[in-house]
């Protein structure tokens, strides 16, 4: 599942896309992001990657969010919906 989600994100080719995933508390989170948004990167290390999380930058809230690939409900880029659970 993680490889499939990463592959879909790579297919966006640097364009912004909409990511919908279910948070731990059960609520739905919608994030507008792109694959390589490094504009707000300030250093540090990725401590959640080993736990199986992926990381995205929410351009509206200007912060990083981490999510489990299994929690992804929808990825939409442009007018095409690439993934729906």
| pTM, full prediction | 0.77
Domain that holds residue 53: 2-84
Owner of token pair 């939409």: 76
Considering only residues 63 and 84, tell me which one the structure prediction assigns the higher pLDDT: 63
Q: What is the pLDDT of residues 34-78, one digit of tens each?
A: 876 655 566 667 777 778 888 888 888 888 888 998 999 999 988
Q: Give the total number of structural domains in the chain.
A: 1
CATH number of the domain encompassing residue 48: 2.30.30
Q: Is the CB of residue 33 less than 8 Å from the CB of residue 58? A: yes
Residue 81, token pair as written in the block: 């919906």
Q: Is the CB of residue 73 less than 8 Å from the CB of residue 28? A: yes
CB atoms near residue 18 (< 10 Å): 15
Q: Which of 8, 27, 29, 1 is nearest to 76 (CA)?
A: 8
Q: What is the pLDDT of residues 21-38, one digit of tens each?
A: 999 999 999 999 987 665
């Amino acid at each position: 599942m993680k490889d499939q989600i990463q592959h879909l994100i790579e297919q966006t080719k640097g364009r912004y896309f909409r990511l919908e995933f279910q948070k731990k508390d059960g609520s739905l989170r919608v994030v507008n992001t792109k694959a390589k948004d490094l504009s707000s990167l300030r250093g540090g290390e990725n401590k959640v990657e080993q736990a199986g999380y992926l990381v995205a930058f929410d351009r509206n809230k200007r912060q990083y969010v981490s999510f489990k690939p299994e929690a992804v409900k929808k990825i939409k880029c442009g007018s095409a919906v690439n993934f729906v659970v």
